[in-house]
Amino acid sequence: MARIAFIGAGSFGFTRGLVKDILTFPNLRDSTLVLMDIDEERLKYITLAVKKIIEAGKYPAKVISTTNRAEALKKADAVICTILAGGVNVWRHDIEIPKKYGVDMNVGDTRSVAGVFRALRTIPVMLDICRDMERYCPDAILLNYTNPMAMLCHAMQKVSKIKITGLCHSVQGMPGRFAKWLNIPADEITYLSAGINHLSWYLELKHNGKDIYPQIRKVVSENKKIYNEELVRNEMFLHLGYYVTESSGHNSEYNWWFRKRPDLLKKYCLKGTAWNPGEHAFILKHYLARDKNWKNDIKKWLAEKDINLERGHEYAASIINAYMGGEIFSFNGNVPNTGIITNLPEGSCVEVPVFVDRMGFHPVHVGALPPQLAVLNNVSVAVENMAVDASLSGDPMMVYYAIANDPLSAAVLSLAEIKKMVQEMLLKNKAYLPQFKNLKIS
């Protein structure tokens, strides 16, 4: 009987979907599902939702809910983390303060100024979770869904011996779009993806063993409707030769090319037809709207007579099943770079193919990325590593050095302007930065 702990279980959509997936496995149908959240009201509703799934599937599973993290982690076999340190209103400051200085962000959960400050707030909490796991469930695996993925995983993997990987749904999501563009079955596409989170690359894309990149280049170049779906990603593909895994809006923040001038923002980040082309604060607005209506949405779902119990496409359930002795599973996960990608720094967090079995995670050697891709990844890795070092050491100057080399900030601001912006951000986040004894940048 597996014991699976959800830390931040009040993330209703994630928890509900992952529980549904977990219970589809015969090996996991009698699991004990421990739901932990600091928000008692959200915890109450997600507990009702999980009980509804168990009853609908007639599973012999058990559900426990608690606000005590240590209690949740005791004797766990697997831990799933979906927390948001500081909440949505603090995230708002991450977006609004940089905009005042000219740094325009779309998401702000992974890189650039907002991503770094989200990491600074979240790393202490994640390290506390690791310390609790070392005490209460040292053999458990930790599956992290919280962003900024690479910085959080790098910090945890650097200081903890817990088996940790980070999971993102962008890698497995895009091949379905390729299949639609080329009118071929999605399950016949195979791929090799590697890089860093949200900046991984499909190094190989094949249909029945044949390279489909020439066909993708043709439809992206000749079909205006397809080109307009993903303006940023399609531009990157046409000029760099490989397709990036994460959406256009996200990727517009991770480089120098698309968000530094109003005309470029208008051309590439406002006219795309996919769900998030790059509008300012798009995801923040989405979260604020969802937060406003979260209780009504949950009540509506709980009132539904019939619910879908089919397994989804997230990796977590299949990983836990393999770790608990089920079928070996392969996925793309965030792990330390132990020579896996040879032209990215050793020890940095990379997103690569991984196999999981009852012994844990086994990353697959990739080799060198094409140089035009490696340079983008290396810049982000350097910023991320400095941000992690800043958090672990409590050094405000290292925060400044990290953001001074952020491509988006550097594209629009001088060094002095970046210093002023970072100082304001540090002071605004004071209540969430216990690791910093001094917040003054010299």
Burial of residue 414 (CB within 10 Å: 0-12, 13-18, 19+) is exposed
Q: Look up tokens 């500081």; give the residue.
A: 86
Rounded CA gap, 94 and 87, in Å?
11
Angle between helices 231-240 and 213-222 (to 10 degrees): 120
Angle between helices 396-404 and 112-136 (to 10 degrees): 130
Distances (CA, A) of 72 to 41, 140, 426: 17, 12, 32
Which tokens in the block code for residue 335? Answer: 């792990």
Rounded CA gap, 219 and 227, in Å?
8
Q: For strand 329-336 and strand 349-357, is the pairing parallel, antiparallel, or unpaired?
A: antiparallel
Candidate list 169, 239, 286, 365, residue with the active-site label: 169
Eight-class DSSP state of 265: I
Nearest to 328 by CA among 337, 319, 336, 338: 319
Is 239 tagged catalytic?
A: no
Cα dihedral sign, 327-331-334-335: positive
Farthest CA pair distance, the chain: 62
Rounded CA gap, 256 and 246, in Å?
17
How close are the terminal C-alpha atoms of the chain, in Å? Answer: 55
426 alpha carbon, distance to own chain's centre = 23
Eight-class DSSP state of 37: -
Which tokens in the block code for residue 119? Answer: 């990491």
Which tokens in the block code for residue 124? Answer: 């202490």
Eight-class DSSP state of 44: H
Residues with a catalytic annotation lie at 169
